[in-house]
Structure 1
Amino acid sequence: MTELDPPAQYYSESGELTGFGIEIVQEIQTLVGNSDPISVVPWARAYHMIETEDNVVLFLMARNQLRNEKFKWVGPVLEFSFGLYAKEDSEISSLSEPEARNLKSIGVYRNDVRDQILTQMGFENLKRVGDKLQNVKMLMTNRIDAYASSSLSYGIDASEAGYKESDLKLVMTFQTIQAYIAMSLNVPDHVVASWNSALKSMIDDGTYIKILKKYYPTANLPTKAITEFD
């Protein structure tokens, strides 16, 4: 399963499901001989399913302390940072964590990892929405002070909401993130290992970097997997 989150996963003009995550997973499936179909499911429902059901694969998922022991992991397949973004013409500039806590409201995508991280950090000024583009629209109409996004997707969020990347600015980075393909705990270890081996072969032969640069021209290969969290 996956969610729509361009350019990682989206429908092309011809109606084909495509994107970075789709191409990575489909290439791995080819290498390991798996032909299971990919379903597009809203994130909250998909996350509940991988927590409660057997033999579920969900991508792309940020790995953190809250999730680390709940799933098995293939990757990392992508690395980026999470931050708070404000309007370019906002008086808000570089924020410390205490200053961010004092903002009137910060928009987050409900049950998304950014919601979880900021909640765990003790932020009590979060305004949760069920559509991530609503965050941008609320920001641009001054209904929130900032919203949580990633270094790879905030410009896409802005464009899809009818604005430009330059309309937004980063005011605080709060975590570096690695994204993975997550699997239910009951998935056999040898299956997880075969998927990781296939991903490594894609990195070694250049297939991975070709797909990465196609969708994220400024992104680099992920660093060593972070498997322990404070």
Structure 2
Amino acid sequence: MRNWLFLLALILTLPAHADLDKLRFITEEYPPYNYAENGKLQGIAVELLERAFLLDGRQLDRDSIEVQPWARGYETVLNTPNSVLFSTTRTDTRESLFQWAGPISAARVVLMARKANAIQIDSIDALNQSDLQIAVIHEDIGAQRLQELGVDPTRIHTAFNNTSALTMLDANRVDLWAYGEDVAFWLMDTRGYDRQEFEAVYTLSEASLYFALNADTDPNLTAQLQASIDSAKDAMPSLRLVTEEYPPYNHINDQGEIQGTATQLLKKVLQRSGFEAEFQLLPWARSLTEAQMRENTCVYSTTRTPERESQFMWIGPLLSTQWGAFSLASSPLDAGNLDDLSGLRIGSFRQDAVGNYVQDQGHSLILATTDRENLDRLSADLIDVWVTGVASAEYLAEQQGTALNRLFVFNEVPLYLACHKTLSPHLQQRMQSTLEAILKEQGELPAPTLDKE
């Protein structure tokens, strides 16, 4: 009898692996945490949930996750036991409305504005005394924070979704947008907006994103989901290194493999350090955002600017690059410095440090999605001058058989591996010391120090 009672008690304490299948998961378009790409659900939260299921002995069917507008999903989970909404900001107001599992990631909710409007907000009182109009999404954390803080409701305008809210802000139909900062910038990068034209002017809250479970859900299910998430975080995958098409440092070869001088150096560092990494090629603005927001993710070859300094953990320098201005060899254009480019059509691409530097000197730019496009635009007489890395421009021009004229060189900077701020200090130090040892063996001096100008 004692043995039977002991066995029964043991069975009751074992996790029921099928239980997580009882949960109904609901999400929205909230990149990079949860979003649809090429018809498949992707994102940081989705990947975390998938790893949690695997470590619980289950296979998550991503197609079973329901994608709904935020307000509908929020109401559904409020009223439906065993349902889960993600990614949900955990606030004092919402605390008792749900059970919680997580966190997924830290998040900051801000008032976003167009830089050209030069909006400054020092307090909620100052906001209420102004006539500024604000876009929100119904039941979103931005809308709830404005309500909690007592912002005048007559100046709050509800958008259908985040894309329409961004459109309203860009078109000056509203002055501000209350939303998650990271997600707002991600949308700008992926929807073709220039994030340099926008800025966060006031922070509404800093909290974390969670899986929010209906309050009447079996607490054992919540505990099991939490335990699986904890295990998934402890078993994080190997490093993920993202980059762009920026030859000769990083580029795709004829076999579809990522190659280049920086890529080969990093592969050697990883091999000698005993670490593994997945390499992936993305548009540059997307690569930067991925490394800012995804744990164990790094981006290269990255210029270490004062604006980016606090956004990443840095490893390097890997090598150095010169910045130059180019025209077609057949062009009669003559210029010796950046001042000589005044009034010309200058080509760069989104989130590039070279273009940002030139823009900071007071020049307007015509921005492409990738740097390779600028060579075609130069040939098609859509731009007069192309500002970019010297080695990259000359490599692409030779590859396409286009004759360029290097007008002048205006800077030389080091390029780095920029990693998510939560990267293990041990890993960072190991890779840094290994990199320095390899460069010393190759007889290569460290790249120039960071240009602070």
| TM-score where L is the length of structure 1 | 0.85
Matches of 2:133 and 2:83, distance apart in 1: 35
In the TM superposition, 1:1-230 aligns within 5 A as 1-13=26-38, 15-34=39-58, 35=60, 37-101=64-128, 102-124=130-152, 125-207=155-237, 212-214=295-297, 218=420, 220=422
Distance 1:71 1:123, change over 3 A: same
Identity of aligned residues (%): 25
Query: Residue 50 of structure 1: CA displacement?
Result: 0.8
Aligned residues: 220
Query: Residue 123 of structure 1: CA displacement?
Result: 0.7
> What SS is found at the alignment partner of 1:111?
coil
Distance 1:47 1:3, change over 3 A: same
2:144 alignment partner AA: Q
Matches of 1:21 and 1:219, distance apart in 2: 18
Query: Residue 205 of structure 1: CA displacement?
Result: 2.8
- Higher RCO (C-alpha 8 Å, min separation 6): 1
Query: Residue 98 of structure 1: CA displacement?
Result: 1.8
Greater displacement, 155-164 / 43-52: 155-164
Greater displacement, 161-170 / 95-104: 95-104
Query: Residue 196 of structure 1: CA displacement?
Result: 1.3
1:40 alignment partner AA: V
Distance 1:117 1:50, change over 3 A: same
CA-based RMSD of the aligned residues comes to 2.4
Matches of 2:421 and 2:72, distance apart in 1: 29
Return 5+ residue gaps in structure 2 as ranges. 1-25, 241-293, 299-311, 313-418, 424-453
Contact kept in structure 2, 1:61 and 1:179, CA below 8 Å: yes
Query: Residue 45 of structure 1: CA displacement?
Result: 1.2
Matches of 1:152 and 1:206, distance apart in 2: 22
Distance 1:158 1:97, change over 3 A: same
Return 5+ residue gaps in structure 1 as ranges. 222-230
2:175 alignment partner AA: D
| TM-score where L is the length of structure 2 | 0.45
Query: Residue 151 of structure 1: CA displacement?
Result: 2.6
Greater displacement, 20-29 / 130-139: 130-139
The superposition leaves residues 165-195 of structure 1 with CA deviations (integer Å, 9 ceiling, x where unpaired) of: 1110111112102110111122222221121
Query: Residue 219 of structure 1: CA displacement?
Result: 5.9
The superposition leaves residues 48-97 of structure 1 with CA deviations (integer Å, 9 ceiling, x where unpaired) of: 11111121011111111221111111011111211111101112135322
